[in-house]
Structure 1
Amino acid sequence: MRDPYKILGVKRDAGQDEIKAAWRHMAKAVHPDHNQGDPTASARFAEIGRAYETLKDPKKRSLFDNAARMAEAKANENTIMQQRQAAREAAMRAKAAQANAERVMEELARAAAQKAAADAANQQKTGAAEPAEEMIERIFGTQARAAAGGGRDQGFSAGAARRPETEAAIADKQPEAGKAEAEQQAAEDAAAQASAIMQPLSLLTSLVRRFTGSGTQQAPEKVPDQFATKTVSIDDLIKGSWLTVDLGEGREAGFALAAGTTEGHQVRLKGQGHKLTGMQRGDAVINIHIAPDERFTVSGFDLHTVLPVTIENAVLGTDARIEGPRGPINVTVPAWSGSDRTIRISGQGLANADGGKGDLVVELRIMLWEKPDDKVTDLMRSMKNGLFL
Structure 2
Amino acid sequence: MRDPYQVLGVAKTASEAEIKKAFRKLAKASHPDSNQDDPKAQERFAEINAAYEIVGDKEKRGKFDRGEIDAEGKPRFQGGFEDFQGFSSRGPRPGPGAQSFRWTSQGGAGQGAGDDDILSEILSGFSNRAGFGARRGGPRPQAPRTAGEDVQATVAVTLEQLMLGEKVQVELPTGRTLEVSIPAGTRSGKQIRLRGQGWASPDGGPTGDAMVTVEFVPHPLFKVEGDNLRIELPVSLDEAVLGAKVRVPTLGGPVTMTVPAGSNGGRLMRLKGKGLPTALGGHGDLLVALKLMLPDEIDPDFEALMRRWREAGHASVRGPEYGA
TM-score category by the smaller chain?
0.5 to 0.7
Question: What do residues 284-317 of structure 1 show as CA deviations (whole Å, max 9, x unaligned)?
Answer: 2222222233332222221122222111221222
Give, in whole Å, the separation in 2 of the partners of 1:85 and 1:200: 29
Flag the 1:267–1:243 CA change in 2: closer, same or farther, 3 A: same
Partner letter of residue 312 of structure 2?
G
Give 1:256 shift.
0.5
Structure exhibiting the larger radius of gyration computed from Cα positions: 1
- 1:205 matched to which residue of 2? 126
Size of the aligned set, in residue pairs, is: 248
2:317 equivalent to 1:379: no
1:255 to 167, 180, 202: 180
Structure 2 match to 1:96:
69
Identify, as 1 or 2, the structure richer in helix. Answer: 1
User: What RMSD, in angstroms, separates the aligned Cα atoms of the two structures?
Assistant: 4.1
SS of structure 1 residue aligned to 2:305: helix
Q: 2:198: which partner in 1? A: 273
Query: Paired residue for 1:301?
Result: 227
String of CA shifts for 1:251-295, please: whole Å, max 9, x gaps.
212211111112222222223234474586432222222223333
Deviation sequence 1:198-241 (CA, Å, 0-9, x none): 887545422444699x9441231542x32222222111101111
Q: How does 1:1-389 map to 2 (within 5 A)?
A: 85-90=57-62, 92-93=64-65, 95-96=68-69, 99-101=75-77, 104-108=79-83, 112-114=87-89, 119=93, 130-133=96-99, 135=100, 151-152=110-111, 201-209=122-130, 215-223=141-149, 225-248=150-173, 250-275=175-200, 277-278=202-203, 281-386=207-312
Partner SS for 2:127: helix
TM-score (norm 2): 0.62
SS of structure 2 residue aligned to 1:351 = coil
Q: Which residue is equivalent to 1:4? A: none
Compute the TM-score of the two structures, normalised by the length of structure 1. Answer: 0.53
Amino acid at match of 1:220: T
Find the counterpart in structure 1 of residue 322 from structure 2: none
Correspondence for 1:49: none
Q: d(CA) in 2 for partners of 1:305 and 1:248?
A: 37
The residue type paired with residue 152 of structure 2 is F
SS at match of 2:75: helix
Three-state SS of the structure 1 residue aligned to 2:197 is coil
Match of 2:248, SS state, is: strand
SS at match of 2:161: helix
Distance in 2 of aligned mates of 1:198 and 1:257:
64
The 3-state SS of whatever aligns with 2:79 is helix
The secondary structure found in structure 2 opposite 1:349 is coil
The alpha carbon displacement at 1:109 in A equals 7.0
SS of structure 2 residue aligned to 1:99: coil
Shift in Å at residue 149 of structure 1? 9.4
Cα deviation digits, residues 20-49 of structure 1 (max 9, x gap): xxxxxxxxxxxxxxxxxxxxxxxxxxxxxx
